[in-house]
Amino acid sequence: MRRVTLILAAVAAVAGAIPLVTPEAGHADQEIYVTRIPSGYRDWRLISVAHEAGELNDIRAILGNDAAVKAYRENKLPFPDGAIIARIAWKYVPSEENNKIFGREQSFVPGAPPAWYLQFMVKDSKKYAATGGWGYAQFDQKGNPADRKKMSTCYPCHEPIRGRDFLFTRYTP
């Protein structure tokens, strides 16, 4: 019993350190999550790339609109309102075509879009004040937004990187 109390106390302490995202109803959801895909994102400039192994097992590109790329290049924090970061992920697969030509198992390329195909962070310091000024969005390969439960995991994971305005990705020249 005492042990359970200690665990609960620890959980409460962590919960206190990480502001929980608990939108109450429709209107509150709108102020924390983004439910529409920003137009033209596929034409935005490149911020960086990454490979997430493990359960995700994807290869991804991080793009930014003009405001986001400008802020990254000028190293200005926090990012200005209007900045949007796009993250496109594809399944991480070997390229049999490339490997056959190279004569070795070397090449890994984007495969099919996964259920976590598209993510966005939209900066609006007033509208999304509850989540560090960023609204979070996720869409599957059909353009359907993720449900509220899924979206509630975004901000708590980004919160530890608060010192870089909640952005994991660093700009890669």
Please give the residue ranges that form the binding site for its own copies (CB under 8 A): 42-46, 48-54, 56, 59-61, 63, 90, 92, 95, 97-98, 101-102, 104-110, 113, 157, 160-161, 168, 170, 172-173
Q: How far is the CB of 27 from its own copies (least distance, A)?
A: 31
Q: Which residue has the tokens 């034409």?
A: 43
Cα–Cα distance measured from residue 169 to residue 131, given in angstroms and rounded to the nearest whole number:
18
Q: How far does Cα 141 stand from its chain's mean position?
A: 16
- Report the residue number, 104 or 126, with the smaller CB distance to its own copies: 104
Least Cβ distance, residue 55 to its own copies (angstroms): 8
Residues 93 and 90: their CA atoms lie apart, in Å, by 9
Say which DSSP state 52 is in.
Answer: E
Q: How far is it, in rounded angstroms, from Cα 149 to Cα 129?
A: 19
Closest CB to its own copies among residues 50, 130: 50
Nearest-approach distance from CB 79 to its own copies, in angstroms: 18
